[in-house]
A and B are shown apart, each in its own frame.
Chain A
Amino acid sequence: MAKTGTLGDKIFRSILVVFAATIILIVAAMIVMMVWNSLPSISRFGLGFLTGRSWQPASDIYGALPFIYGTIVSSLIALVIAVPISLGIAIFLVEQAPKSVASPIAFMVELLAAIPSVVYGLWGIFVLAPFIRNYLGVFLQDYFGWLPFFQGRLTGIGMLTGGVIMAIMVTPIITAVVRDVLEVVPTTQREAALALGATKWETTLIVLKNASSGIAGAVVLGLGRALGETMAVTMVIGNAPQISPSLFEPAYTIASVLAANFAEATDKLYLSALIEMGLVLFLVTFVVNAFAKVLVMGVARGTNAAKQT
């Protein structure tokens, strides 16, 4: 025992430092590589790259705005649908369902998370797109057609379909994390609430409030997955670089344009523009994560304040 002593600890510590350093190394290497390779595009277009609406590889015009728009809007659609559903599933599993019901449902949620992206994409083309074209889209157009979001041609391929498929893909992730978060909220809190005469609903609200920072974290994780999702979205979003208020119109995401074009981008400026696009996705993810962190901190402070009063 004594033999390991200080030397053993030192070795152990150095090994851990090396491991920790790999992460920094990888991130640094990626940023440097991407910035370096996108220099031709950055120097040619400057900030105009981010605001340009035109993407024309044939004439060497590259503007990323339609892709940034497509990425953010489709991810938002995904979250708007996925967050309430995930919360509902998680609350049901933790707060309401008997064990005999909860475990099979939890298992199925995990199964959903394990399905490869391309399978979602195929399902999207064969099932979801016709469903949106024949039922959901028609319904939305009939009742909400006065909104600009639901106007125009209904092909079943477009922003809405991309968002819905992403929603299905991020639901298991958000559900799993929220479930874990809710489970660690001490039972004593629920018992205390119930003892004070709170209903199940009121008790759940208290639990949710205490778990809010964890829930926000779960949403951010889901958003991260949605922003980077490639294959399934490429198959149903329509891949047209345009900005249209209508959710039925085709759109394009950053991840999709990279996947579709990287292998064939032989022109130097084209390749550089695609790499800069990767950099933009990196930045968008970074900003969203930072924003979420601030949000989580704010919420956490709020709950702490609540506890103190």
Chain B
Amino acid sequence: MRHFRNTLLGIGLAAIAIVGFGCSGAPIGDSNGSSGDGSGNIGLQGSGASFPKPIYEKWVNEYQKINPKIRIDYQSTGSGAGQKAILSRTVDFGASDDPMKDEDLAKADSDLIHIPTVLGAVVMTYNLEGVDKPLNLTAETIAGIYLGEIKKWNDAKLKADNPDVNLPDAEITPVYRADSSGTTAVFTDYLAKTVPAFKDKIGASKQPNWAKGVGIGAPRNDGVMGQVKQTPNTIGYVEIAFAKANNLPTALIKNKAGKFVEASIENVSAAAAGTASEMPEDMRLKITNADGDSAYPISSYTYILVYKEQKDAVKGKALADFLWWAVHDGSKYANDLHYAPLPEEVVKKVEAKIGMITADGKPLHQGSEK
């Protein structure tokens, strides 16, 4: 008996030693291996934002019809995970709704490029019995609800913006994302930009410090939608593609020009067009609260992240070709899937960016193929 116990103890200690040693080792996973499987097929791995998943899948499908030798695998793991994956080089491209922060970019061992692919928006959806006209909301009222300052649907501020709507005397329950999310980043960026109290108390981030005792959290877009759909007197924010596909009621939001605008693809495009000239060299641009009469104020770009210098010329070329195709021929699929295509001006800048992708210092994509 004693002999056994000692043996087991010994094995346990050995395990601890082995695992302890493993902990100090190098990160696992490295995709810089072979680029093909011998038959000439090229495999590309990508992961990140869940919001553009439907259009990325469509692109991959369509692109494969034209180029059967290229296999692209996109996994929607979330924006943060996409940034992490490209930083650790476990994928060939990452995807994120939120442009990377300077401090995260600094962690990359070589230059990372942001390629905007399409635009989306965050919409406010709600569950109010007997209200079939779209609500009018402003940054102040939305912030007030999430701060817990506007507690009831028949609050004077809400009534003032919605004179024709019979708002009930019921407590508002705001719903927010319980996970870290690019959607939350866009939503809070807009409110922090426009409402100082929101900036001070909650702030803009992928997972901010929500006001205590206000509202409920739910994971992912479908979680928020589920709670809003099932719980009376709730309000929540979800991606526009999600709301459109599920026929959710969406509020009109007052934009910078003072107009209440609908969350539509056209109005998101208007926000992009109004800010296209501000697009910086590194393409990291937030377009919440944009100028323009019809600009929808909670709009955003979504990005693909690639290394400027590709370690594998064959894979790098395939990736550059795919990106080029996506922002040109691929843009025609955007509308049907409730995304806004890039404005012409931005496409020009993206072309220049794709031209900067190199392997061994040589560019992998030579300008226009049209």
A binding-site residues for B, Cβ under 8 Å: 17, 20-21, 24-25, 28-29, 32-33, 36-37, 56-59, 125-126, 129-130, 133, 153, 155-158, 234-235, 238-240, 242, 244, 249-250, 252, 256-257, 259-261, 263-266
Instruction: Collect the chain A residues with CB atoms within 8 Å of residue B217's CB.
Output: 238-240, 250, 252, 260
Binding site for A on B (CB under 8 A): 4, 7-8, 11-12, 15-16, 18-20, 23, 77-81, 83-84, 104, 171, 173, 178-181, 203, 205-210, 212-213, 215-219, 223, 226-227, 230-232, 234
What chain B residues lie within 8 Å of A129 (beta carbons)? 230-231
Counting chain A CB atoms within 10 Å of each CB, the highest count among B7, B78, B218, B226 belongs to B218
Q: Are A239 and B219 in contact (CB under 8 A)?
A: yes
* Distance of A158 Cα from B175 Cα, bound (Å): 13
Residue of A nearest to B209 (CB): A56
Determine chain A's interface SS by DSSP, over half rule.
Answer: helix
B173 touching A36, Cβ below 8 Å: no
CA distance A239 to B217 in the complex (A): 5
Residues of A within 8 A of B8 (CB): 17, 20-21, 24
Shortest distance in angstroms between B200's beta carbon and chain A's nearest beta carbon?
A: 13
Contacts of B15 on A, CB cut-off 8 Å?
A: 24-25, 28-29, 32
Given A21-B8, A129-B231, is A266 in contact with B23 using a C-beta cutoff of 8 Å? no
Closest Cβ–Cβ distance, residue B11 to chain A (whole Å): 4
**Residue in chain B with minimal CB distance to A153:** B171
Instruction: Closest A residue to B213 by CB, please name it.
Output: A242
Find out whether the CB atom of A24 lies under 8 angstroms from the CB atom of B12: yes
Q: How far is the CB of A74 from chain B (nearest CB, A)?
A: 15
Tell me how far the C-beta of A127 lies from the nearest C-beta in chain B, rounded to whole angstroms: 10
Known contacts: A17-B7, A155-B173, A242-B212. The answer to whether A58 contacts B203 by CB under 8 A is: yes
Asked if A25 and B11 make an inter-chain contact with CB atoms under 8 angstroms apart, the answer reads: yes
The residues of B that contact A36 with a CB separation of less than 8 Å are 19-20, 23
In the assembled complex, the CB of A156 is this many whole angstroms from the nearest CB of chain B, namely: 6
Residue of B nearest to A66 (CB): B212
Query: How long is the Cα–Cα vector from A264 to B12 in the complex, in angstroms?
Result: 33
State whether A264 touches B213 (Cβ < 8 A). Answer: no
Q: How far is the CB of A122 from chain B (nearest CB, A)?
A: 8
In this complex, what residue of A is CB-closest to B170?
Answer: A153
How far, in angstroms, from A28 to B19 measured CA to CA in the complex? 9
How far, in whole Å, are A260 and B226 apart by their CA atoms in the complex? Answer: 15
B19: chain A residues at CB < 8 Å are 28-29, 32-33, 36
Interface residue from A153, A250, A265 paired with B80 (Cβ < 8 Å):
A265
- A263:B203 contact, CB within 8 angstroms: no
Most chain-B Cβ atoms within 10 A of its Cβ — which of A32, A58, A158? A58
The residue from B18, B23, B79, B179 contacting A260, defined by CB atoms under 8 A apart: B179
Cross-chain contact A249 with B219 (CB below 8 angstroms): no
Contact yes or no, A263 B23, CB < 8 A: no
Q: Which of B7, B16, B79, B232 contacts A32 (CB 8 A)?
A: B16
**Among B77, B208, B210, B223, which residue has its beta carbon within 8 angstroms of that of A240?**
B210
Cβ–Cβ contact B180 & A264, under 8 A: yes
B80 touches A24 (CB 8 A): no
Q: How far is the CB of B97 from chain A (nearest CB, A)?
A: 12
B203 nearest CB neighbor, chain A only: A58
List 9 interface pairs A-B (beta carbons < 8 Å), by A numbering.
Answer: A17-B8, A21-B8, A32-B15, A32-B23, A58-B205, A155-B231, A234-B223, A266-B80, A266-B83
Chain B minimum-CB-distance residue to A271: B84
Interface residue from B208, B226, B230 paired with A58 (Cβ < 8 Å):
B208
Contacts of B83 in A (CB 8 A): 266
Is the CB–CB distance between B230 and A130 below 8 Å? yes
| Cα A250 to Cα B215 with chains together (Å) | 8
Q: Are A240 and B215 in contact (CB under 8 A)?
A: yes
Bound Cα distance A256, B219 (Å): 9
Give the docked Cα–Cα distance between A126 and B207 (Å): 27
B179 pairs with A125, CB closer than 8 A: no
User: B236 CB to closest chain A CB, in angstroms?
Assistant: 12
Q: A20-B8, A133-B231, A266-B84 are in contact. Are A153 and B173 (CB under 8 A)?
A: yes
| Distance in Å: Cβ of B187 to nearest Cβ of chain A | 14
- CB of B179 within 8 A of CB of A28, answer no
A259 and B210 alpha carbons, distance in the complex (Å): 19
Taking a contact as CB atoms closer than 8 A, the residue among A125, A126, A264 that contacts B78 in the complex is A264
A239 and B20 within 8 A (CB):
no
Smallest beta-carbon distance B70→chain A, Å? 27
Chain B residue contacts of A261, Cβ below 8 A? 178-180, 207
How distant is the Cα of A21 from the Cα of B4 in the complex, in angstroms? 10
Most buried by A among B180, B181, B205: B180
A213 to chain B, nearest CB (A): 24
Q: Can you name the residue of chain A whose Cβ is closest to the Cβ of B87? A: A266
Q: In the complex, what residue of chain A is closest to B229 when comparing beta carbons?
A: A125
State the CA gap A252–B212 with chains docked (Å): 13
Point out the residues of chain A lying under 8 angstroms from B180, CB to CB: 57, 261, 264-266
A238-B217, A239-B217 known; 8 new pairs, CB 8 Å cut-off, are: A29-B16, A36-B20, A58-B203, A58-B205, A58-B209, A155-B216, A240-B216, A260-B179
User: B219 — nearest CB in chain A belongs to which residue?
Assistant: A260
Residues of chain A lying within 8 A (CB to CB) of residue B208: 58
CA distance A208 to B207 in the complex (A): 51
Measured between beta carbons, the chain B residues less than 8 angstroms from A17 are 4, 7-8
Q: Give the residues in chain A near B18, CB-CB below 8 Å.
A: 29
Q: Are B216 and A238 in contact (CB under 8 A)?
A: yes
Task: Judge whether A58 and B207 touch: CB under 8 Å.
Answer: yes
Quote the shortest CB–CB distance from A136 to chain B (angstroms): 15
